[in-house]
Amino acid sequence: MLHIDTWKRALIWLVCVAGLLLALPNAFYSRVEQSNDAYAAIEAQGETPELLAQAEKWPSWMPSSLVNLGLDLRGGAHLLAEVQVEDVYAARMDGLWPEVRNALRDERATVGTFRRIPDAPADQIRLRLSKPEGMARAMELIRGLATPVTSLTGAGATDINVSGQGDVITIALSNQEKLASDARPLRQSLEIIRRRIDEVGTREPTIQRQGSDRILIQVPGVGSAAELKSIIGTTAQLTFNPVVGRGTDPDANPGVGNKVIPSLDEPGTYYTVESAPVVTGEELVDAQPSFDQNGQPAVSFRFNTSGARKFGDYTAQNIGAPFAIVLDDEVISAPVIRSHIPGGSGIITGNFDVEESTNLAVLLRAGALPAKLEFLEERTIGPELGQDSIDAGKVATVVAFAGVLIFMVLSYGMFGFFANIALVLNIAMIFGALSLIGGTLTLPGIAGIVLTVGMAVDANVLIFERIREELKAGRGPAKAIDEGYAKALSAIGGGNIPTFITAVILFAMGSGPVRGFAITLGLGILTSVFTAIYVTRLIIVMWFERRRPKTIEV
């Protein structure tokens, strides 16, 4: 009776201590934040005495994860952008047109003259032939331009569908190709946006894909959505520059017509390159991850005609010399030219793995945003409003807390005090768990915590009421406590499961602040059930063992 194994006791206390330790950094929020920032800065740019002093504001052996503050608490900008994939279809069709024209021109004898019909949908080319009897041959020629779709679902299909009616041929992007290629502009846009925002160097930006063609961007600390839009709106500049030299001094004298720029992958390495590029990214038509002749991951790329000529001439004259692939004044890589590259297409080899080559290909294509972004949702929250909300939330939480604590002691005396210890631990554990999983605290999330303060005592109320009933029924103190816990379990579990289900549904369906609320509500249920069932019980048992009271009053 009233026995709890030692290992269980140890485990319960261990969980509580872990929760408290994890929650502790949040009590010193700004200090820990500065320390974390300083560590990140040291990691990125080396130690300085100031940074070190700042880093030591929080002992390194302590947990240092903090609860993220949501945009509504910290202030910042939120954008939901939709990538206009139709733009890409139109560009694809415009790119295909010259090929179609060249193919048909060679067979003018059979197909006659032809003309592209304007006002066709963006994802189609329509053309009219002067000799309808040449339709079959023309369609055969155009079908010859099709390439297989490179995706699992699109296996066996080609990228374009060619159909004819009367003297009009319609070339349309196939649905399989659209499916396969829609992901591409989205990935490129994500990558570009991420790079642009990282450049500005704000803390913890959120850049997420949403659905098939949307991107959610949340950046704390940016003044307004307009500012954020201007950051991601500028186009990326990709250039291919001749390399003059390479070193570690960012302030080296580059010489006339040259500039010193850092390397993207190797921190501390700087390249001196000629300022005038050989070719720019505007002349790149494609870049794809591939493999070189040794089976090493590589990136293949292709220039348009003028780019191909410039690139061909340059490589022919500079075999053995390195040239730099530069994105926004950072060297992505500086391969050595191994041979003359005449066809305007080439392959970049280097020390990459498959993932890196894929990323590089994305970046190379990512010269500019591949499609227009339409902004469906824009939110700017001023930092003052967030701070006001935090302050108000703090006061409300403290008052709610104090009220419930007093109320519990008044109603249940000593047992109410035990429940209060559990309640304090409960809140600490919510913060600890939030920090651990990197959860985000939002304004509704604070409401979720306050609600938890009110509802968490429910489990203990159920138990205490049961103990009262058992005492009334004439059971001894130990037996009454034991039975009280045993009989209340069913109601505690049964009562909390529906709330937990709704928290899960809210988490799955909601976004932003609502999701923050769902997280604190769900965590609050887990921790409150744990503290009510295990912690208060352990405290009561320990108290009971020490005092051995003949009678108890609950």
Select the span of 14-22, 24-32, 405-413, 426-434 touching other proteins (CB under 8 A).
405-413
C-alpha torsion 262→265→266→267, nearest 10: 60
Q: What angle do CA 304, 308, 314 make, to 5 degrees?
A: 150
473 scored as a contact of other proteins (CB under 8 A) = no
User: Binders of other proteins among 211-250, rule CB under 8 A?
Assistant: 224-226, 229
Least distance in angstroms from the C-beta of 373 to other proteins: 10
Whole-number Å distance between alpha carbons of 323 and 315: 9
Strand, coil or helix: 347:
strand
Query: Which stretches does DSSP call E strand in 123-213?
Result: 124-129, 160-165, 168-173, 206-210
475 scored as a contact of other proteins (CB under 8 A) = no
Nearest CA-CA partner of 368 in 226, 230, 189, 187: 189
Question: What is the amino acid identity at position 5?
Answer: D
Question: What is the amino acid identity at position 475?
Answer: R
Least distance in angstroms from the C-beta of 452 to other proteins: 8
Least distance in angstroms from the C-beta of 515 to other proteins: 9
Q: Residues 267, 403, 438, 549: which binds other proteins (CB under 8 A)?
A: 403
Least distance in angstroms from the C-beta of 462 to other proteins: 6
Q: Is 46 or 454 the residue whose CB approaches other proteins more closely? A: 454
377 scored as a contact of other proteins (CB under 8 A) = yes
551 scored as a contact of other proteins (CB under 8 A) = no
Q: Is 224 or 269 the residue whose CB approaches other proteins more closely? A: 224
526 scored as a contact of other proteins (CB under 8 A) = no
Binding pattern to other proteins, positions 173-212, x when CB under 8 A? ----------------------------------------
Residue 251, token pair as written in the block: 């302030």
Q: Residues 181, 189, 496, 531: which binds other proteins (CB under 8 A)?
A: 496
Least distance in angstroms from the C-beta of 79 to other proteins: 8
Residue 524, token pair as written in the block: 């609050």
User: Binders of other proteins among 347-376, rule CB under 8 A?
Assistant: 374-376
Q: Residues 51, 200, 424, 451: which binds other proteins (CB under 8 A)?
A: 451
User: Binders of other proteins among 381-400, rule CB under 8 A?
Assistant: 381-382, 384-385, 388-389, 392-393, 395-397, 399-400
**Helix boundaries (H) for 240-379:** 305-317, 354-365
Whole-number Å distance between alpha carbons of 434 and 516: 10
Least distance in angstroms from the C-beta of 218 to other proteins: 13
Q: Is 93 or 422 the residue whose CB approaches other proteins more closely? A: 422
User: Binders of other proteins among 1-30, rule CB under 8 A?
Assistant: none
Q: What is the largest CA-CA distance in the chain?
A: 113
Least distance in angstroms from the C-beta of 413 to other proteins: 6
CB 463 within 8 A of CB 484: yes
493 scored as a contact of other proteins (CB under 8 A) = yes
Nearest CA-CA partner of 533 in 19, 23, 12: 12
Centroid of chain to Cα 481: 49
Residue 438, token pair as written in the block: 């990197």
CB 479 within 8 A of CB 3: no
Count other C-beta atoms under 10 Å from residue 223's C-beta.
13
Whole-number Å distance between alpha carbons of 545 and 551: 13
380 scored as a contact of other proteins (CB under 8 A) = yes
Q: Residues 39, 240, 323, 412: which binds other proteins (CB under 8 A)?
A: 412
DSSP-assigned letter for residue 67: P
Least distance in angstroms from the C-beta of 72 to other proteins: 8
Q: Residues 150, 212, 305, 502: which binds other proteins (CB under 8 A)?
A: 502
Q: Residues 48, 454, 473, 549: which binds other proteins (CB under 8 A)?
A: 454
User: Binders of other proteins among 98-127, rule CB under 8 A?
Assistant: none
CB 361 within 8 A of CB 293: no
Select the span of 21-29, 60-68, 101-109, 487-495 touching other proteins (CB under 8 A).
487-495
**Helix boundaries (H) for 155-201:** 175-200
Residue 91, token pair as written in the block: 């560009």
Q: Is 36 or 440 the residue whose CB approaches other proteins more closely? A: 440
Q: Residues 361, 521, 523, 539: which binds other proteins (CB under 8 A)?
A: 521
Q: What angle do CA 270, 272, 277 make, to 5 degrees?
A: 120
For 455-482, b/e burial (b = at least 16 CB within 10 A) is bbbbbbbbbbebbbbbbeeebebbebbb
User: Binders of other proteins among 34-73, rule CB under 8 A?
Assistant: 72
Nearest CA-CA partner of 445 in 531, 526, 520: 520
Report the first-to-last Cα separation within the chain, whole angstroms.
19
CB 330 within 8 A of CB 261: yes
Least distance in angstroms from the C-beta of 525 to other proteins: 9
Q: Residues 483, 499, 526, 543: which binds other proteins (CB under 8 A)?
A: 499
Whole-number Å distance between alpha carbons of 429 and 337: 59
553 scored as a contact of other proteins (CB under 8 A) = yes
Q: Residues 492, 519, 541, 552: which binds other proteins (CB under 8 A)?
A: 492
457 scored as a contact of other proteins (CB under 8 A) = yes
152 scored as a contact of other proteins (CB under 8 A) = no
Q: How many residues bind other proteins (CB under 8 A)?
A: 78
